[in-house]
Structure 1
């Protein structure tokens, strides 16, 4: 029976969400086919956590664990870490060096997509539309007038490399701009400032299912808040409508763009991309390569709408990783 290490936690503000995702994976893996192990990855410790919540340290030399004198080596890693080091390429590179297969994309694709600025820059030449944007690195001189002249108001100020809407602000006035910059810098040393796109927000899951790149049913996001922020995502302050209330023509247009982005970037595993529909055109905001996998998360909702259960979704990811 294959031994599956489910890595969860991480070093970012998203660690609690990751722990929830990881436990959902743990509870939905077919125990007749796989032996699953919960592995908590934190800056201060990497540990295997058994069903009694006892902790056993991971040997980072070969990503193994010793329990009651028996050394356990894992056949495959299921990556459920949102943010660093699971979504920015670090774990992928480490596991590749150890020749341990894992369920998410490769280290380069992970690092590229985690950096919103770089990913959008790669996709733009292929005709994929994006918002007007401006970039800042920590320490750069901030010319508020020049930036706002380019992107306009309202605009969004975002950490360039983070998820779950941590550090994101919708700026409506000039006075709100610098405080939004400070908030974003608490999450990352790079910032992306984007023009406000007034339209329908949708989320699109693309996965490799049984060897075929598959676009899942599209979800329409209707936030009770000013935008799809942390509260909207995780505290019930939004409606997530699957399938989205859009025309068949628009659905096909978005599916083509989402699948094309997945293939251009040579993705593997799960992805969930966000788009805003403006004047009948989809504008891409970002791509998540380790999306939320909780019962209420968008990608599992989409899979369910497509007739794919959580056990089937997770088993497929494990089997594809083992094949690769």
Structure 2
């Protein structure tokens, strides 16, 4: 098939998205697909061939529409806002082009951590107590014990901070507000960090890969995610009841959001069961990323995983 792989993006996860896109393109070529690639710059300019020098985002998008028209399907390996949040899925829906992954609705809700929490709660899953603070009201935020502060819509833990004392709250709020004007303040949940990846295959069958445990000495922040100090164990050492509970919770959340393709559900496993932390509808997709590691534990190789995602691609909303 003719597959257009989109990488980069106009957000803090630009470099991570470039790595995912490059790995996806290589895997698709190894399976015999005709792959074309396009990068969206940090300024939102689509870097298409023969683009006029100095062209702005709008002009570059107009030129990029021809690439969409020439493709059998699009693989949007763009993490974060204006990509994973459903923006690219919506563009493909308007163009009538098949796309890998979740559609607009699931992407938009999944990117919004507050909306995700409300959805999870309505679906019967446990969540951490929290509140949203607008950037205009940061000075009015009150400290009520150790809290985690994070942007409502951002990824790769950019802007996330752990605040143990009242004096550190203001700085943490300001840092989070650099990435989103809505900031989520949550209670600290004590538990093991367990990720579960769910895939929806062609034909609609959904299943969860073996869970992965993240082991760190502190907060699993941006630096820890990419400096190699975090330890990933897959399959995670779980009892049958723990494994069943996590898998059921992941599938419940996948369905509640209406996800497609693959999504990663991040949980805290406590003595009382799983607590949903967040959802990634377009998670990192290099061979070393968490999702491919989980599927490798289920004997699904990285090229096979990418191939399965391509074969399950649909026109969003149809």
TM exceeding 0.5? yes
CA distance in 1, matches of 2:243, 2:294: 14
Q: Structure 1 residues 158 and 101, CA, compared in 2 at 3 Å: closer, same or farther?
A: same
Q: 2:187 aligns with which of 195, 208, 213?
A: 195
Q: In the alignment, is the contact (CA less than 8 A) between 2:117 and 2:127 conserved in 1?
A: yes
Cα deviation, residue 141, structure 1: 5.6
Give the match's secondary structure for 2:126: coil
CA distance in 1, matches of 2:61, 2:254: 34
Cα deviation 1:126-172 (Å, max 9, x = unaligned)? 21000010111121264343xx33xxx22100000000010000001
1:232 corresponding residue in structure 2: 224
Q: Structure 1 residues 29 and 137, CA, compared in 2 at 3 Å: closer, same or farther?
A: same
Q: In the alignment, is the contact (CA less than 8 A) between 2:2 and 2:35 conserved in 1?
A: yes
Q: Structure 1 residues 22 and 56, CA, compared in 2 at 3 Å: closer, same or farther?
A: farther
List structure 1 runs of 4+ shifted beyond 3 angstroms. Answer: 30-33, 55-59, 141-145
CA distance in 1, matches of 2:2, 2:230: 38
CA distance in 1, matches of 2:242, 2:124: 17
2:65 corresponding residue in structure 1: 63
Give the match's secondary structure for 1:45: coil
CA distance in 2, matches of 1:103, 1:85: 16
Cα deviation, residue 45, structure 1: 2.1
Q: Which runs of 5+ in 2 are unaligned?
A: 52-59
2:212 corresponding residue in structure 1: 219
1:314 aligns with 2:306: yes
TM-score by length of 1: 0.90
2:56 corresponding residue in structure 1: none
Cα deviation, residue 33, structure 1: 3.6
2:84 corresponding residue in structure 1: 87
User: Could you say which structure has the greater relative contact order, defined with CA pairs below 8 angstroms and 6 or more residues apart?
Assistant: 2
Q: In the alignment, is the contact (CA less than 8 A) between 1:129 and 1:282 conserved in 2?
A: yes
Q: Structure 1 residues 252 and 32, CA, compared in 2 at 3 Å: closer, same or farther?
A: closer
Give the match's secondary structure for 1:313: helix
CA distance in 1, matches of 2:302, 2:183: 35
CA distance in 2, matches of 1:242, 1:271: 17
Cα deviation, residue 258, structure 1: 0.5
Cα deviation, residue 85, structure 1: 1.5
Q: Structure 1 residues 56 and 298, CA, compared in 2 at 3 Å: closer, same or farther?
A: farther
Give the match's secondary structure for 1:245: coil
CA distance in 2, matches of 1:140, 1:33: 53
Q: Which has the higher strand share?
A: 1
2:174 corresponding residue in structure 1: 182
Q: 2:116 aligns with which of 104, 119, 142?
A: 119
Q: Which has the higher helix share?
A: 2
Q: In the alignment, is the contact (CA less than 8 A) between 2:202 and 2:313 conserved in 1?
A: no
* More off after superposition, 281-290 vs 132-141: 132-141
Give the match's secondary structure for 2:131: strand
Give the match's secondary structure for 2:278: strand
Provide the alpha-carbon RMSD of the alignment.
1.8
Give the match's secondary structure for 1:262: helix
1:106 aligns with 2:96: no
CA distance in 2, matches of 1:136, 1:72: 42
Q: Which runs of 5+ in 1 are unaligned?
A: 49-54, 66-70
1:132 corresponding residue in structure 2: 129
Output aligned runs, 1:13-52, within 5 Å: 13-31=12-30, 33-42=32-41, 43-48=43-48
